[in-house]
Amino acid sequence: MDHSLDSYGDATASATRVTPGNALRPEDIAIQPERPSQAVARYAVRLGDDSLILSHRLSEWVSRAPELEEDVALGNIALDLLGHARSFLSYAGLAWGKTEDDLAYFREEEEFRSLHLVEQPNGHFGVTIARQLMVSIYQDLLYAGLTGSTDNTLAAISAKASKEVAYHRDHAVQWTLRLGLGTEESARRMRHALEILWPYVNELFLDEPLHDELGDAGVRPSALKAAWEREIAAVLEEAGLEVPQTRAALCKGRQGEHSEHLGYILAEMQVLARKHPGATW
């Protein structure tokens, strides 16, 4: 069928010009000649898994958001995160002759390296926003640092991701303000959301021996902690909310010990691919 619309006199031409844009794509990374070191690959898996699982959670919102405009907004963030995950996993896979899909669909739960925080259920919109606020401030700081990585590919992926997560952060901040200062109910829900998620924050800043190996190719999580605490406290204060005093939960996601939720996420995510091993889609 001829989809060309030129014959219909497109009066809005200049407002609807579309281009794919040019940016680093996962497909390009998968075929690039440079291979990551073992340490960089293991690190990239951590970054990729966090984004993949959070993207999965956000994609669960599609067709369920509080307003249609927000459906589009959450979808955008899920897509950005999925893009980051694909880039990091594609790059990691180069070290072991594996594809992004090998890593996403055919690893076992204990082989995943995601943080407990990103595995937490969506809950109501306030819980999702609280989780977004925590993760996006973290990723904003992380990618800003990684843009200077001595590993060129990590630096390049992070440079693109950095701009995108800055927007995710803005989205989360805007909603935190509205929910914190909107109605009594929204403030109550937001306080509750922060409290139930706060125990998982500590894990974001745990260093591993891996970070010693990485040197300047990576960013030491503990180095982000002070800035993160300062920045989230400022947002919460502006939103009339308080930094929760809940205690840190013992989380070992980076060692493959996950929340109970991840098993279900993977069961769903991997079911079709595993039913047809070796198939292409």
Partner 1 sequence: MAAQNDAGGHLSAVPSPEEQAGLERFNALIAEDSRIEPRDWMPEAYRKTLTRQISQHAHSEIIGMQPEANWITRAPSLKRKAILIAKVQDEAGHGLYLYSAAETLGTPREVLNEQLLSGKAKYSSIFNYPALSWADMGAIGWLVDGAAIANQVPLCRASYGPYGRAMVRICKEESFHQRQGFEILLELAHGTEAQKRMAQDAINRFYEPALMMFGPPDGDSPNSQQSMEWKIKRFSNDELRQRFVGMIAEQVKVLGLTLPDPELRFDEEAGRWVHKDLDWDEFKAVIAGNGPCNAQRLERRREAHENGAWVREAAAAYAAKKAQKAQVA
Partner 2 sequence: MAQPVATSPTEEGQRHDGAAWPLWEVFVRSSRGLSHVHAGSLHAPDAEMALRNARDLYTRRNEGVSLWVVASEDIIASDPDAKGEFFESPQGKDYRHATYYKKSEGVKHL
Residues that bind partner 1 (CB under 8 A): 1, 3, 5, 8, 10-12, 16, 18, 26, 52, 56, 59-60, 62-72, 75-76, 78-79, 82-83, 85-86, 89, 100-101, 104-105, 124-126, 177-179, 181-183, 185-186, 189, 268-269, 271-273, 276, 278-281
Using the minimum distance from each CB to partner 1, give the nearer residue, 65 or 159. Answer: 65
Site for partner 2 in 121-150 (CB under 8 A): none
Name, in order, each residue with C-beta under 8 angstroms of 238's C-beta and a sequence gap of 6 or more.
177
Q: Does 67 bind partner 2 (CB under 8 A)?
A: yes
Residue 46 near which of partner 2, partner 1, none (CB within 5-8 Å, type-dependent): none
What are the tokens at 274? Answer: 């595993």
Residue 110 near which of partner 1, partner 2, none (CB within 5-8 Å, type-dependent): none
Q: Does 21 bind partner 2 (CB under 8 A)?
A: yes
Using the minimum distance from each CB to partner 2, give the nearer residue, 54 or 265. Answer: 54
Beta-carbon count within 10 A of 199 CB: 18
Name, in order, each residue with C-beta under 8 angstroms of 206's C-beta and a sequence gap of 6 or more.
221, 222, 254
Only one residue has tokens 């405009």, namely 69
Please report how close the Cβ of residue 187 comes to partner 1 at its closest, in angstroms. 8
Residue choice 5, 62, 72, 243 for contact with partner 2 (CB under 8 A): 72
Is the Cβ–Cβ distance between 141 and 9 less than 8 Å? no
Question: DSSP characters for 235-279?
Answer: HHHHTT-----PPPP--BGGGTB--THHHHHHHHHHHHHHHSTT-
- Estimate the crossing angle of helix 125-146 against helix 152-181, to 10 degrees: 150
Residue 21 near which of partner 1, partner 2, none (CB within 5-8 Å, type-dependent): partner 2
Q: How far apart are CA 179 and CA 176, in angstroms?
A: 5
Please report how close the Cβ of residue 126 comes to partner 2 at its closest, in angstroms. 15
Only one residue has tokens 């690190």, namely 43
Please report how close the Cβ of residue 125 comes to partner 1 at its closest, in angstroms. 5
Q: Which residues would be at the binding site for partner 2 (CB under 8 A)? A: 12, 14-21, 67, 69, 72-73, 76, 170-171, 174, 178
